[in-house]
Amino acid sequence: MPMPARPKHFLPHAGSARRKTLCYTRGSCSGPGRRPKRKGVLGEVAGSGNVAASEMLAGILEEEGEIRTAADVIERAAAVHESQRLLVRLGELFQRAGEPDRSRVAWERAVALAPGDLVLRKRLAAASAHAGDWEAAVGHLRVIAERGSPAERFAAWGEISLRFEEAGKVDDAIAAQEALLALMGPDHWQLDSARRRSSISIKRIIP
């Protein structure tokens, strides 16, 4: 009678990858002078698409200042196992490596997997504004203005107004200022102060 096929997670190469990763995590590959061995073990396992090994190896490379190489490791892992965590990490590494455009691309892929992640939206809004892409910045800020806490919505509308102002979109900038004021309600203790700031902003837009 033929033996039943073993499931994939019991195949020798899969077990070998797990054993090699455990070699690192349990310390049997760690210790003085063993970093090259650890990197070699993790590199071999990461090459097969193992996420844990990839993240560990990227961490070692980052500690050694090899930021771009660390990004390459995470990029390969994300190509096999696309996840928000890996893509956020990839964006951070690209940013540290001085590649803001690639960082934005990674974060855009991450936010597509988790559209409600407002922390990531804030990062993307700032990165887009820094790149001069005010439309992308406003797009992310609008999501925050719709879904965020009262304080986040207030800050988002103020930022939206500023981005429209920079782009010369006068009507849109004023509409954002009005949305900001509407959040405060007629009896808010800071309403008069906010109105004065809004008036100053509008005069700056329309001399």
pLDDT tens profile 131-183: 999 999 999 999 999 999 988 998 999 899 989 988 888 889 889 988 888 88
Is the whole-model pTM more than 0.85? no
How many C-beta atoms surround the C-beta of residue 157 within 10 A? Answer: 23
- Compute the residue count for the chain: 207
Can you give the pLDDT at residue 44?
A: 83
Q: Which two tokens stand for residue 27?
A: 């310390």
Task: Summarize the confidence of residues 21-33 as an average pLDDT.
Answer: 47
- The CA–CA distances, whole Å, from 195 to 75, 188, 198, 202 equal 47, 11, 5, 10
Nearest to 21 by CA among 60, 69, 54: 54
Phi/psi of residue 98, each to 5°? Answer: 80, 30
How many C-beta atoms surround the C-beta of residue 168 within 10 A? Answer: 10
Asked whether 73 and 58 are in contact (CB, 8 A), the reply is: yes
- Quickly list DSSP for 67-78: HHHHHHHHHHHH
Q: Which residues fall within 8 angstroms of residue 160, CB to CB, at 6 or more apart?
A: 138, 141, 142, 145, 176, 179
